[in-house]
Amino acid sequence: MRLAGFYAFAAAVALLPALFPDNYFVVVIGASAGLNVILAVGLNLLMGYAGQISLGHAAFFGVGAYASAILTTRFGWPSLLALAAGLLAAGLLAWGFARPILRLRGHYLAMATLGFGVIAHVVMVQATHWTGGPDGLAGIPPLNVLGWRVEGDLQWYGVIMAAMLLAVWLSLNLVDSQVGRALRAVHGSEFAAQMMGVDTARAKTQAFVVSALFAAFAGSLFAHQQAFVSPDSFNLAVSVELVTMVVLGGLASTFGAVCGAIALTLLQQGLVVFEDYEMLVHGALLMAVMIFMPQGLFVGLTQAVRRLGSALVGSKPPAAA
Amino acid sequence: MPEQLFQFLVTGITIGSLYALVGLGFALIYNASDVVNFAQGEFVMLGAMTAIALLNAGLPLLVAAVIATLLTVGVGLLLERFAIEPAAGASVVTTIIITIGAAIFLRGVALLLWGKDFHSLKPFSGDAPIQIGGATVLPQSLWVLGVTVVLVALVRAFFNRTLLGKALLACAFNRTAAQAVGINVKVMLRLAYGLSAGLGALAGILIAPITFSSYEAGVMLGLKGFSAAIVGGIGNPMGAVAGGVLLGVLEALGAGLVSSGYKDAIAFLFVLMVLFFEPTGLFGHKASERV
């Protein structure tokens, strides 16, 4: 029953397009929410469990996207191989970067990761020869999974949802493993974790690399789905959005991150109706949620569902997610 | 070549003064409340944009500058009262997101008021460049330098010589102890926000004639100011000033000698290098961790 929430979530994801056939909103917004879920769940491993902030996570999203874009368009690599190369690149980058920066704490760590993100974005804009510069790279071929070319909104919905469920499942299992427990110990008190024999530097590096891999994976899918990438999708604002998703959902909860990612994706779609007031409303909502619900939306929501559930049937509801 | 270097140095110190003022604002707020205020750059933008709007409405420059600064101070106080105070005791990440939310909100307000266009301010005393050595210096650069020196000196004197300044410092060291000796910590917190909003606004007004201003102008400035405060060791006001000037000079040298497109990358690479070797900044307190 440990994964009951997961199965309920998977069922909901599979049922949605059947309940709303040919619904643009469900399929397209759903796919974009799915990518955000992968990103947020990955970042949550680092922020929520290991307790390390990253304000530059869009960089890894970008590494995955550009690896796929460049390798498939300029070198004709098969898309799965390019995806693997993107994962490798992001993993190595994160591993190399993790050691020196994860010694830093609090605002110094925020600064270092932020700087990393800005540098990566500048490179995407300036290395025109490879990245196409500010105009981006177009004409990325469709994802080809062993001969199956993923085309059309519904197929993409399926692929991204499958990837998302894989990410959520991995995350749920990871946090309950020995590595996950070590990470939580680091979050609680790094010193105490060390005393208990946890190699804290190793645990933090692992969390950083794994969350970078999640991001690069999402990036690769994103590049193929959009068939186009440009630096705007990987700038500081995106990094901030990712952090917001994790915190909005409530740190240190996989379904919290899922919830935060979906909420923020829907919010951004919903805000479009405010037109010129979009920014103003976005900022005000962000402040309000953080001030009045510092524990995040998910905690508040699950409590409400539990109360409702126990009032109705007098026992724990299965679909708490 | 030496003349060129001197030219880069002048440009760097000018822009560095701006970073120094923004960094000083970061340090003041951090000292008083342990919060890194990501809306600091928006104070700079608000100061510049309000001054431009008031000037266009026909007010003389000095009056426009004073009103713009006071209005921004007001915004700083409102931010403290309605966004920071209710979230007292929240985690670092939560406060970071609150101030980022505030920054987005203020940008949204500026977008509604002034649109997406770039606006500029007339230089305070003409734009005929002055030749110093082999370098050309804009009169506005001298304004920036002069006013920055005066402001930094004033802030220093405020902390070292006035009771109010010392009370603020006491809050930075230990809030409980400060409260115990009768300092009103809440008032001090507001003072810090007002002060750093004012510094930000003045920085914005000073630089507006050199760089154009728009509703988004505060984003990069805020980041650079944060970098300055971090390089200097966060919570050390004079460290932030030194960090800002250093950052400005390096950025100008990088833009001139390496590539102007990569200047932001060079600035942040420098910050990363500093953090790799000095994890608490160049002039920061060496942290001893409490268990």
| DSSP per position, A4-70 | HHHHHHHHHHHHHHHHSTT-HIIIIIHHHHHHHHHHHHHHHIIIIIS----S-THHHHHHHHHHHHH
Q: Does B78 touch chain A (CB under 8 A)?
A: no
pLDDT tens-place string over residues A130-170: 888 888 888 888 888 877 787 877 888 888 999 999 999 99
Half-sphere exposure of B212 toward its Cβ, with a 13 Å CA cutoff?
A: 7
pLDDT value of residue B89: 76
Q: Does B271 touch chain A (CB under 8 A)?
A: yes
Rounded to the nearest angstrom, the minimum Cα separation between B239 and chain A is 15
Name the packing angle between helices A254-271 and A236-249 (round to 10°): 120
Residues of chain A with pLDDT under 50: 316-321
Query: Looking at this predicted complex, what is its ipTM?
Result: 0.87
Q: Does A276 touch chain B (CB under 8 A)?
A: yes
Rounded to the nearest angstrom, the minimum Cα separation between A283 and chain B is 4
**Residue of A110, A277, A294 with shortest CB distance to B87:** A294
Question: What is d(CA B228, CA B7) in angstroms, rounded to the nearest whole number?
Answer: 22
CA distances from A45 to A4, A90, B126 (A): 20, 16, 56
Mutate to test the interface with A, among B35, B46, B100, B269 (most CBs of A within 10 A): B100
Output DSSP code: residue A229.
E
Instruction: Test A280 with B109 for CB contact under 8 angstroms.
Output: yes
Question: What is d(CA B247, CA B269) in angstroms, rounded to the nearest whole number?
Answer: 11
- Asked if residue B160 belongs to a domain, the reply is yes
pLDDT tens-place string over residues B118-159: 888 888 887 788 887 777 888 888 999 999 999 999 999 998
Instruction: Test A279 with B265 for CB contact under 8 angstroms.
Output: no
**For residue B53, which amino acid is it?**
A
Least confident of A108-117, A178-187, B20-29, B204-213: A178-187
Residue ranges of domains in chain A: 4-235
Residues in chain B: 291
Q: Does A299 touch chain B (CB under 8 A)?
A: no
| Residue position matching structure tokens 């909104």 | A153
CA angle A80, A83, A89 (to 5 degrees): 145
| Residue A118 and residue B223 in contact, taking contact as beta carbons nearer than 8 Å | yes
Q: Does B45 touch chain A (CB under 8 A)?
A: no
pLDDT tens-place string over residues B62-116: 999 999 999 999 999 999 999 888 887 777 788 888 999 999 999 999 999 998 8
Mutate to test the interface with A, among B275, B285, B288, B289 (most CBs of A within 10 A): B275
Q: Does A267 touch chain B (CB under 8 A)?
A: no
Chain B residues whose CB is inside 8 A of the A283 CB are 101-108
**Residue of A111, A243, A278 with shortest CB distance to B230:** A111
Give Dmax over CA atoms of chain B in angstroms: 60
CATH code for the domain of B132? 1.10.3470
pLDDT tens-place string over residues B38-48: 999 999 999 99
Contacting B residues, span 194-253, partner chain A, CB-CB under 8 Å: 219, 223, 226-227, 230, 234
- Asked if residue B285 belongs to a domain, the reply is no
**Residue of B86, B94, B275 with shortest CB distance to A112:** B275
Chain B residues whose CB is inside 8 A of the A284 CB are 101, 105
Return all residues near A224 (Cβ < 8 A) that are at least 6 apart: A68, A79, A140, A141, A142, A143, A150
Instruction: Test A286 with B100 for CB contact under 8 angstroms.
Output: yes
pLDDT value of residue A174: 87
Rounded to the nearest angstrom, the minimum Cα separation between A133 and chain B is 11
Rounded to the nearest angstrom, the minimum Cα separation between A36 and chain B is 18
Chain A residues whose CB is inside 8 A of the B226 CB are 111, 114
Residue in chain B nearest A100 by alpha carbon? B276
Look up the domain containing B154 and give its range: 2-277
Position B287 pLDDT exceeds 60: no
Residue in chain B nearest A101 by alpha carbon? B276
Instruction: Test A106 with B109 for CB contact under 8 angstroms.
Output: no
**For residue A94, which amino acid is it?**
A
Q: Does A277 touch chain B (CB under 8 A)?
A: yes
Rounded to the nearest angstrom, the minimum Cα separation between A289 and chain B is 9
- Asked if residue B291 belongs to a domain, the reply is no
What are the tokens at A54?
């990253």
| Residue B10 and residue B137 in contact, taking contact as beta carbons nearer than 8 Å | yes
H or E element, residue A148: strand A148-149
CA angle A305, A309, A313 (to 5 degrees): 175
Half-sphere exposure of B50 toward its Cβ, with a 13 Å CA cutoff?
A: 29
pLDDT-derived band at B285 (thresholds 50, 70, 90) equals low
DSSP-based three-state secondary structure for A145: strand
Rounded to the nearest angstrom, the minimum Cα separation between A5 and chain B is 27
- Asked if residue B40 belongs to a domain, the reply is yes
Question: What is d(CA A61, CA A49) in angstroms, rounded to the nearest whole number?
Answer: 20
- Asked if residue B72 belongs to a domain, the reply is yes
Per-residue burial over B206-235, b if 16 or more Cβ lie within 10 Å, else e, is bbbbbbebbbebbbebbbbbbbbbbbbbbb
pLDDT-derived band at B286 (thresholds 50, 70, 90) equals low
Q: Which of B276, B92, B245 is nearest to A110 (CA)?
A: B92
Q: Does B55 touch chain A (CB under 8 A)?
A: no
pLDDT value of residue B288: 45
| Residue A114 and residue B229 in contact, taking contact as beta carbons nearer than 8 Å | no
Number of domains, chain B = 1
Q: Which of B166, B181, B171, B281 is nearest to B232 (CA)?
A: B281
- Asked if residue B188 belongs to a domain, the reply is yes
Residue in chain A nearest B37 by alpha carbon? A107
Rounded to the nearest angstrom, the minimum Cα separation between B98 and chain A is 5
